[in-house]
């Protein structure tokens, strides 16, 4: 594992892990998982998940088909959410930071409960997403905080911006990165959004130890991309 700068605080607002698989899980198996996890862990609140499909044809008004798609399970005490759907499983952590090792250990426990409830699953993609909000003062410009800059001739006319980069991670090209930079003026938090989304295709993998080993590799990719993207001013702000 590579060594990176240790920050005293972090701009992380949300961490999301996603595991996708080839099978389509039936509603009754998802019900088994929901009952299992609600009875066994702190995830006591749940809602039905939904999927929307837009049907559009030339000359015909588009229509939307909405169907149920698994469950969204919540734990308010630890600000964590699980989304268990017919073709994917995701684990969300919001608000305060928690270490990668701690989160992946917990994720593995829930994933094994999911497999126990739904049967063996053939994984075809693993994803990691880190949503950061780098706070800025009134006198700070966005380009002082991140190294990804967009030039334009419009001066102060611009109320917002969004820049997106898609790339393959140099040390492991099978890891695909999507980097989004945008400004945020929501509530009292004025800053720059840095959204790092990593995905890695997997060839018919069923071994949980292999899957979570891949997530460890993706952590190094995320860290390297993060520190390449932010400036020295941002590092000092959170050190």
- Asked whether residue 170 is domain-assigned, the answer is yes
The pTM of this model reads 0.89
- State residue 76's pLDDT score: 76
- State residue 107's pLDDT score: 96
- Asked whether residue 107 is domain-assigned, the answer is yes
- Asked whether residue 4 is domain-assigned, the answer is no
Which of 148, 118, 114 minimizes the C-alpha distance to 134? 148
Structure tokens belonging to residue 221: 């990719």
pLDDT for 126-153, tens place per residue? 999 999 999 988 888 888 999 998 888 8
- State residue 84's pLDDT score: 96
Residues 6 or more apart in contact with residue 96 via CB below 8 angstroms: 79
Q: Looking at the 3D structure of the chain, how many domains does it have? A: 1
Which backbone phi and psi does 147 adopt, to 5 degrees?
A: -90, -5
Provide the CA 187 distance to its chain's centre, in angstroms.
22
| Region of poorest pLDDT, from 31-35, 64-68, 111-115 | 64-68
In the three-class reduction of DSSP (H, G, I as helix; E, B as strand; rest coil), residue 198 is classed as strand
Which of 204, 198, 208 minimizes the C-alpha distance to 123? 204
- Asked whether residue 106 is domain-assigned, the answer is yes
Which of 178, 215, 214 minimizes the C-alpha distance to 197? 178
Integer Cα distance of 227 and 216 in angstroms = 17
- Asked whether residue 46 is domain-assigned, the answer is yes
pLDDT for 9-42, tens place per residue? 999 999 999 999 999 999 999 999 999 998 888 8
Which backbone phi and psi does 151 adopt, to 5 degrees?
A: -95, 150
Which backbone phi and psi does 62 adopt, to 5 degrees?
A: -60, 145
Q: Which residues pair with 140 in a beta bridge?
A: none
- Asked whether residue 151 is domain-assigned, the answer is yes
Distances (CA, A) of 7 to 44, 77, 146, 230, 234: 34, 25, 16, 13, 10
Q: Check whether 65 has a pLDDT greater than 60.
A: no
* CB 52, CB 65: distance < 8 Å: yes
pLDDT for 212-224, tens place per residue? 999 989 999 999 9
Distances (CA, A) of 141 to 91, 190, 216, 228, 230: 34, 11, 34, 18, 13
* CB 96, CB 15: distance < 8 Å: no
Domain encompassing residue 121 = 12-238
Would you state the torsion angle of the CA atoms of residues 13, 172, 85, 123, taken in this order, to the nearest 10 degrees?
Answer: -150
Structure tokens belonging to residue 68: 């149920």
Structure tokens belonging to residue 34: 């929901």
Integer Cα distance of 139 and 154 in angstroms = 19
- Asked whether residue 1 is domain-assigned, the answer is no
Provide the CA 117 distance to its chain's centre, in angstroms.
24
Q: Which residues pair with 181 in a beta bridge?
A: 163, 194
């Amino acid at each position: 594992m590579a060594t990176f700068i240790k920050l005293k605080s972090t701009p992380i607002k949300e961490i999301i892990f996603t595991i996708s698989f080839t099978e389509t899980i039936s509603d009754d198996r998802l019900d088994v998982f929901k009952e299992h996890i609600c009875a066994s862990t702190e995830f006591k609140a749940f809602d039905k998940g939904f999927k929307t499909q837009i049907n559009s044809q030339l000359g015909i008004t588009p229509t939307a088909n909405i169907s149920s798609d698994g469950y969204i399970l919540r734990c308010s005490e630890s600000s964590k959410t699980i989304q268990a759907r017919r073709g994917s499983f995701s684990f969300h952590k919001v608000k305060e930071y928690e270490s990668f090792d701690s989160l992946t250990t917990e994720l593995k426990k829930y994933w094994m409960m999911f497999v126990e409830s739904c049967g063996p699953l053939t994984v075809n993609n693993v994803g990691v997403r880190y949503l950061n909000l780098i706070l800025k003062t009134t006198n700070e410009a966005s380009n002082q905080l991140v190294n990804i800059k967009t030039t334009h001739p419009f001066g102060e006319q611009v109320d917002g911006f969004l820049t997106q980069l898609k790339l393959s991670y140099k040390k492991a090209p099978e890891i695909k990165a999507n980097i989004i930079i945008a400004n945020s003026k929501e509530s009292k938090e004025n800053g720059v959004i840095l959204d790092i989304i990593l995905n890695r295709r997997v060839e018919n993998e069923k071994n949980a130890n292999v899957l979570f080993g891949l997530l460890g590799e993706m952590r190094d990719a995320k860290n390297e991309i993060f520190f390449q993207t932010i400036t020295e001013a941002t590092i000092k702000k959170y050190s």
